[in-house]
Amino acid sequence: MNETSWASLYTLTTFRLFLVLVLVVMFFAADDPGLLGSKQPMMFAWISIAYTFTSIGFSLLRTHVTIPFKQQVYLQVYVDITAIVLLMHTSGGVGTGLEILLLLIVAVTGLLMEGQFVMSCALLSSALVLLEQTYTDFTGSGFSAYSQAGVLCAALFAVAIFTLFLSRHQRASEALAAQKSLALEKASELNRQIVQHMEQGIVLVDDEGTIQLFNQGLMQMMPTPGLVESAPLGNTFPELQSALERWKAHPDTSAQLVDIPDTALELRVRFTDLPALGTLLVIEDNAALSQQIQQLKLSSLGRLTASIAHQIRNPL
């Protein structure tokens, strides 16, 4: 399970502990707790205290006990459903307001777990609610509320179905987002590899003049020991920084020639503005570039000469 699921489970345990403490305080501190424990106050007190300590134990499971995520959810949900139904029974059964907690548990379970487990929770909750109502009716210890129990069971299954579809949609969206993120990472790595294998020197600087990216072509052209990304361009290559400032002042210039002191290098630097990224510097050795152009001219001249000689030998 990912960190988001663990964070959601931790939030659930924290909320459960807070909710149980509120119930305990309302029951023990208030002069008139209302419907809480109205039927069997002593049993309500013992169940709420046990539920409180159990909730504290659940909050410590993640940090002190190594239990898989699913097993933790199973254990906590089963305890929640059982404890809430018992608290409902000691407070008078369905209609006390505690049944809302059952709906909440089923909804949270649907968001936490994959598959049909949420339907099992709704089924278990409904079975316990009907069992509680049957026991109450059989013992004559309360009023009959089968219609309210039936409505609650229907609501439990409705919530389960809704959260099941909602969680499937959420997980499909998360899977699609993860797939797109992976594709973006692969494309980014491919671009980085292409940049690294270019013969030209490549430097990307942000708006503050900090180096964000450089390639091996730059290192071969201008060996600079200790060059790292996030270094200021002006401290490492002051001539390139000066050329960059001149280009920013006159962005209509397509390229600039830069002489590197104490070397025979004459660089031809082209600048490209990349919105939200900074400025891309494409650096070429002007002498090598001129030599390549000269070789191309000589090659073209050689082909022209051969063509003329061929025409002379084979006149029309």
Check pLDDT > 70 for residue 263. yes
**How far is it, in rounded angstroms, from Cα 32 to Cα 305?**
112
Name the most confidently modeled range: 37-41, 156-160, 229-233: 156-160
Q: Which CATH superfamily is domain 198-306 in?
A: PAS domain (3.30.450.20)
**pLDDT recorded at residue 83:** 92
Q: How confident is the model at residue 155 (pLDDT cuts 50, 70, 90)?
A: very high
Q: How confident is the model at residue 44 (pLDDT cuts 50, 70, 90)?
A: confident
Question: What element of type H or E holds 185?
Answer: helix 146-196
pLDDT in tens, 168-200: 888 888 888 888 988 888 888 888 888 888 888
Among 57-71, 122-136, 240-254, 279-293, the range scoring the smallest mean pLDDT is: 279-293
Backbone angles phi, psi at 207, to 5 degrees: -65, -20
Question: What element of type H or E holds 160?
Answer: helix 146-196
pLDDT in tens, 113-139: 876 888 889 999 999 999 988 888 887
**pLDDT recorded at residue 113:** 80
- How far the first Cα of the chain sits from its last, in Å, is 83
Where along the chain do its domains lie? 3-184, 198-306
Nearest to 97 by CA among 106, 84, 81: 84
Contact (Cβ atoms closer than 8 angstroms) between residue 124 and residue 77: no
Q: At which residue do the structure tokens 């190594």 appear?
A: 66
**Segment 21-27 mean pLDDT:** 85
**pLDDT recorded at residue 124:** 92
Averaged pLDDT score across all residues of the chain: 82
Check pLDDT > 90 for residue 299. no
**How far is it, in rounded angstroms, from Cα 36 to Cα 136?**
17
Q: At which residue do the structure tokens 């339907």 appear?
A: 119
**pLDDT recorded at residue 168:** 84
Q: At which residue do the structure tokens 């084979």 appear?
A: 314
**pLDDT recorded at residue 293:** 57
Q: How confident is the model at residue 166 (pLDDT cuts 50, 70, 90)?
A: confident
Contact (Cβ atoms closer than 8 angstroms) between residue 142 and residue 92: yes
Side by side, which strands form the sheet with 201-205? 211-214, 201-205, 278-285, 266-274, 255-259
Q: At which residue do the structure tokens 């959601």 appear?
A: 8
**How far is it, in rounded angstroms, from Cα 285 to Cα 265?**
7
**How far is it, in rounded angstroms, from Cα 292 to Cα 298?**
10
Task: Kindly give the pairing relationship between strand 255-259 and strand 266-274.
Answer: antiparallel
**pLDDT recorded at residue 141:** 62
**How far is it, in rounded angstroms, from Cα 140 to Cα 149?**
17
Q: How confident is the model at residue 158 (pLDDT cuts 50, 70, 90)?
A: very high
pLDDT in tens, 220-240: 877 776 677 888 888 888 888
Q: How confident is the model at residue 63 (pLDDT cuts 50, 70, 90)?
A: low
**pLDDT recorded at residue 8:** 79
Contact (Cβ atoms closer than 8 angstroms) between residue 214 and residue 227: yes
DSSP code string of 292-306:
HHHHHHHHHHHHHHH
CA 235 to chain CA mean position, Å: 37
Residue 309: CA atoms inside 13 Å, Cβ hemisphere, count?
A: 6
**Nearest-5° Cα angle at 204, 200 to 208:** 150
Among 41-55, 141-155, 159-173, 182-196, the range scoring the smallest mean pLDDT is: 141-155
**How far is it, in rounded angstroms, from Cα 32 to Cα 42?**
15
Nearest to 201 by CA among 183, 186, 220, 188: 220
**pLDDT recorded at residue 174:** 81
Strand partners, 259: 266
**How far is it, in rounded angstroms, from Cα 69 to Cα 6?**
7
Check pLDDT > 90 for residue 82. yes
Among 119-128, 262-271, 299-308, the range scoring the smallest mean pLDDT is: 299-308
Q: At which residue do the structure tokens 């004559």 appear?
A: 140
**pLDDT recorded at residue 81:** 92
